Amino acid sequence: MSTTSASPSALASGDGYDSDAPFLDVYSPASGAVIGHVPVASTADVDAAVARAKAALPAWSSLPIKERVQVIFRYRALLEQHIDELTALVTQENGKIESEARAEVLKSIELCEFAVSMPQITSNEVLEVSRGVECRIERHPVGVVASIAPFNFPNMVPNWTIPNAIVLGNTMVMKPSELVPLSVVRLAELLREAGLPDGVFNIVNGGREVVEALCDHPDIAAVSFVGSTKVAQIVYRRATANLKRALCMGGAKNHLIVLPDADREMAASNIVASMSGCAGQRCMAASVMVAVGPTDAIIQRMVEVAKNVVPGSTLGPVITAEAKARIERYITEAEAAGATVLLDGRGATVEGQDGGFWVGPTILDHVTPEMKIAQEEVFGPVLAIVRTPDVDGALAIENASPYGNAASVYTESGGMARLVAERASAGMVGVNVGVPVPREPFSFGGWNDSKYGVGEITGRGSIEFWTQAKKITTKWNQDAGTNWMS
């Protein structure tokens, strides 16, 4: 297995990297200080990583799946054993507060639990299709696969793909976000400790050029991507133009439809948690609240709850200075366009952490669907409230978004909940749940411009993406004779 590490000297001697390779600085979003380095992969480094994955493929893919899962059983135990350290690493490089970072590692553990169930759920299908003739379907790995990850979940998103793809017999080249590459280095070390053979899991660091090299590489059979819609489109087009299988998860603009009969306390705390958790940097974060009819009491309570979300204690920083500037620009432009700022997170500071990229929770009322803040992904702790008189109007606003990751409805009426769940144009729908992430064995994944490609990235649906089916038709019975098919 090829790994990189946070220390430049260790990196220079890491497999496959040129000791003169340029290094990429990794910053703490809470302080702005440099906390580590990783080497940038050259095209030759990408070739070397793919070659290692290709060399490891025959032995790894020919192991029975029951043997392959043993590595992930041990990896899961190591994630649990090292949870404090992995949590701290996520906080250091991504900025998440401790409880959010820990939840991310716990989710990685759950992802492993699903992966180790694969022998139970991927057993082959067999049927006697005519007298003496048997048809059987086997699932084979796709080959060397690439996995490209975003900055917002340095531990969990890599683990969306690592356990399932590897258990299903593939070997992998992972390209973590250049903003948060350190967690994956540690995951690689734990995989090695768990007994994963060399070459099955490989890391290449860098940005656009490295992703392009992976999309173009003739020995890579499949590319999975998680990130913004803009880049998801680029990667999907490039990988499929090179005749590869691709699954590209994009950005989001999640609408929460709030009806006047919603439970005030539950809705208010849940919506604030959705818009401000992980500093709003989740593809499942609440972005637009569509307030249907008289909902002022709920909005008022939301503002009270959000005032208790405090940068530096219950709210982490956003990822970069550019992200902070972008988020604050959206707020300023919305205000100039006529939105009412109920709670203003611009200019937030944290004592002793002056260099950090802080944005406080922000709630804007009377946003109109035409405003930029109602249409584009902000990716910060900002909620735009759009008012509408009825559910049809709310659904029209939700349906008009080109994205389709998640949508939620808050109501005490089962009938209204059912209606919204049916008509929302989103792959994941919540009823009184602001972050409706499907847990294993269910698959994660949006619709429309939030996902390109067929299949799912996690859960049962991922089996289709990480394998190819072989159909074997067999006849051993001479007496069966010949019919119109065989």
Catalytic positions:
283
As measured in angstroms, the least distance from the Cβ of 479 to ligand NAD is: 54
What is the number of the residue whose Cβ is closest to ligand NAD?
A: 227
Alpha-helical (H) ranges within 312-461 are 321-336, 372-375, 391-400, 414-423
Of residues 69 and 226, the one with the C-beta less far from ligand NAD: 226
As measured in angstroms, the least distance from the Cβ of 323 to ligand NAD is: 8
Of residues 278 and 350, the one with the C-beta less far from ligand NAD: 278
- Binder of ligand NAD out of 86, 90, 149, 409 (CB under 6 A): 149
Is the Cβ–Cβ distance between 371 and 396 less than 8 Å? no
- Contact characters 257-296, ligand NAD, x per CB under 6 A: --------------------------x-------------
378 binds ligand NAD (CB under 6 A): no
Alpha-helical (H) ranges within 295-413 are 296-307, 321-336, 372-375, 391-400
Number of residues that bind ligand NAD (CB under 6 A): 28
470 binds ligand NAD (CB under 6 A): no
- Contact characters 335-374, ligand NAD, x per CB under 6 A: ----------------------------------------
Is the Cβ–Cβ distance between 455 and 436 less than 8 Å? no
- Binder of ligand NAD out of 8, 22, 195, 207 (CB under 6 A): 207
Is the Cβ–Cβ distance between 119 and 180 less than 8 Å? no
Question: In this chain, which stretch among 93-101, 104-112, 148-156, 239-247 interacts with ligand NAD, using CB under 6 A?
Answer: 148-156
Question: In this chain, which stretch among 17-25, 125-133, 248-256, 429-437 interacts with ligand NAD, using CB under 6 A?
Answer: 248-256
As measured in angstroms, the least distance from the Cβ of 131 to ligand NAD is: 48
Is the bond preceding 381 in cis, omega lying within 30 degrees of 0?
no
For 378-403, b where at least 16 C-beta lie within 10 A, e where not — what string? bbbbbbbbbbbeebebbbebbeebeb
SS3 140: strand
Within 449-468, the residues that bind ligand NAD by CB under 6 A are: 450
For 20-50, b where at least 16 C-beta lie within 10 A, e where not — what string? ebeebebbbbbbeeebbbbbbbbeebbbbbb
Question: In this chain, which stretch among 19-27, 28-36, 43-51, 226-234 interacts with ligand NAD, using CB under 6 A?
Answer: 226-234
379 binds ligand NAD (CB under 6 A): yes
- Sole residue written with tokens 């922000």: 362
Pairing of strands 222-226, 245-249: parallel
Is the Cβ–Cβ distance between 262 and 289 less than 8 Å? no
Bridge partners, residue 148, by sequence: 175, 225
Is the Cβ–Cβ distance between 205 and 178 less than 8 Å? yes
Interface residue list for ligand NAD (CB under 6 A): 148-152, 157, 175, 177-178, 207-208, 211, 226-228, 231, 234-235, 249-252, 283, 377, 379, 405, 446, 450
